[in-house]
Chains A and B, each alone.
Chain A
Amino acid sequence: MTALTINNLSRHFGGLQAVSNVSFTVEVGERRLMIGPNGAGKTTLFNMLAGALPVSAGRVVLFGRDITLLPAYARARMGIARTFQITNLFPRLTVRDNLVLALLAAENAVRSRHRPVSANHSLMHHATRLLDKWDLSAIAGKDAKDIAYGQQRQIDLVLALAAQPKILLLDEPTAGLSAAEVVRVVGMIRSLPRDITILMIEHDMDVAFELADRVSVLHQGHLIAEGDVEAIRNHPRVREIYLGVDDE
């Protein structure tokens, strides 16, 4: 079953064509990796999928529904969750409060603005359980700006997962992490259930090929190759582009 289809998606900024005519389909439960050199248009594409950036042309179809004109928050309610290339947490709120906000959105409890949040026991338990699950309880009370960078990336991910999304957009989740932290995050992603579809941008080839079911390769805004890991590894055009960058 198809989770996501994009048709002829394009985006230009003035004279600069950031994304040109990209089309692909992602199946439910698939782990699709998007790779490509810097400036290839990957994050721009992501932003269009998440609704953070309007498209210049083309369509985005999610679970059969055309969401091209839908604003970002509406897409989130449809089941899209994303992480950010530059960690985007709520810096002066505690880690727990960060999660609480994510959970509140999912619970739709915000309509009842009468009950104090701290009195909402089921919500607070939920937050605690989530932190326990990912072994992050130790930092629950700290402000998000005060925790280590690696932990911030993890919380970024947990925030996206809190709402139990159907499709996850991960933008370079391992960026800037130490080797040990990369292993941790990859483990987190690996352990996600197969009813979640994952679309992930990655610069680290090892990580990309380890996690991927299929890979889409972007270069200068164009989709130049798509296939399973082996096919992409041996693709002449891909090797050509990555010559010198390939870290195998």
Chain B
Amino acid sequence: MMIFALFAMSLDLLIGYTGMPSLGHTAYFGISAYTTALLALRLNLNAWLALPAGLVLAALTASLFGLLALRTRGSYFLMITLALSQVVWGIAFGWRSLTGGDDGLPDVPRPALGLHLPWSLADSTPFYYFTLLLVAVATFLLVGIVTSPFGYALRGIRESETRMLALGYNVWRYKLTAFVLAALFAGLAGSLYAYYNRFVSPDYLNVARSAEVLLMVILGGAGTLIGPAVGAVLIVFLENVISAYTERWLLALGVIYVVVSLFAPSGLIGLLRHIRSRRATP
């Protein structure tokens, strides 16, 4: 759950704070996941190398994709990011020799730290704390980014790019940086997921997943960081619950999407704020 909270928060940086609607965020999650998994599985690299390697690859891809996608705005941007992430999916699916294609990469080992510690990360509890630690650090960093001048600038860009330009901000550079940063955090989530799930497949790169993380952000409330985290927890929870009762998970999800988009476009946090402000002004 924490992993997806992180993933959702990383997307929030892009969507909620900078105002760039990206539907391709799963690409970075997936790239990092695959990289870490492959390095750990095939080359037996320990976590100190495999994890950062995933991040680096995610960041590089984001730089490349960003250069392409940032030529566009709004709905065009949405489309291009979606298309690009599907290219990644296609590669994961098609390059069987590297990625195992549809079958994925099973038996990814838990992270090997190479340290002589009393417990091994192969056990659930220590791994849980390991993940918790990393997610906590990442969250701390995200909060730092968002409250910094850089974060302010991103919000300004979301509100009015022309004004930001007139004030002297190199908007394009900010957007690209935000894009890559978001990809980095998504990548972290991806690599952690690879370790957690011990299995990586193209499944996590498909269109449905792209939509799902978007839902997490919107459901929780874009632009708040905590909103998407809550949204992620909720969605993961719902997914587990509903799948236990019926196979029609996709249908249920679809209905949730429709309902949320129509009635709660500013998410749960938005609703909370609305209620609070209604109470404050009698």
The answer to A–B direct touch (Cβ < 8 A) is yes
Residues of A at the B interface (CB closer than 8 Å) are: 50-52, 71-74, 76-77, 81-82, 84, 88-93, 97, 100-102, 104-106, 109-110, 112-118, 120, 159-160, 163
The answer to whether B159 and A73 have CB atoms under 8 Å apart is no
A113 touching B148 by the CB < 8 A rule? yes
Docked Cα-Cα span, A50 to B42, in Å, equals: 56
Contacts of A120 in B (CB 8 A): 149
Binding site for A on B (CB under 8 A): 144-145, 147-153, 155-156, 159-160, 162-171
Q: How many residue pairs between the two chains, A and B, have CB atoms under 8 Å in the bound complex?
A: 94
- Per CB-CB distance, the 8 closest pairs between chain A and chain B, nearest first, are A76-B168, A113-B150, A90-B159, A116-B147, A113-B148, A105-B168, A72-B165, A105-B167
In the docked arrangement, what's the CA distance between A160 and B150, Å? Answer: 20
Picked from A84, A88, A114, A163, the residue with its CB within 8 Å of the CB of B168 is: A163
Using Cβ atoms and an 8 Å threshold, which residues of chain B touch A110?
149-150, 153, 169
9 contacts between A and B (CB under 8 A): A73-B164, A73-B170, A89-B163, A101-B153, A110-B149, A112-B149, A114-B148, A117-B149, A120-B149
Do A116 and B160 touch (CB < 8 A)?
no
Let me know if A118 and B167 touch, CB within 8 A. no
Provide the residues of chain A in CB contact with B148, threshold 8 Å: 112-117
State the Cβ distance, B50 to closest chain A Cβ, in Å: 28
| A180 CB, min distance to chain B CBs, angstroms | 27
Closest-by-CB residue of B relative to A112 is B149
Chain A residue numbers with a CB within 8 Å of B166 are: 50, 52, 72-73, 76, 81-82, 84, 88, 160
Question: How distant is the Cα of A52 from the Cα of B165 in the complex, in angstroms?
Answer: 9
**Nearest CB in chain A: distance from B13 CB, A:** 13
Q: Which of A71, A89, A100 contacts B160 (CB 8 A)?
A: A89
A97 to B154, CA, bound (A): 12
A103 nearest CB across to chain B (Å): 9
Whether A90 and B155, one on each chain, are in contact in the complex, defined by CB atoms closer than 8 angstroms, is: yes
Nearest chain-A residue to B170 (Cβ)?
A: A73
A163 to B164, CA, bound (A): 12
Minimum C-beta distance from B39 to chain A (A): 30
- In the complex, A109 Cα to B147 Cα: how many Å? 14
A229 to B150, CA, bound (A): 46
A32→B155 CA distance, assembly (Å): 34
Contacts of B160 in A (CB 8 A): 88-91
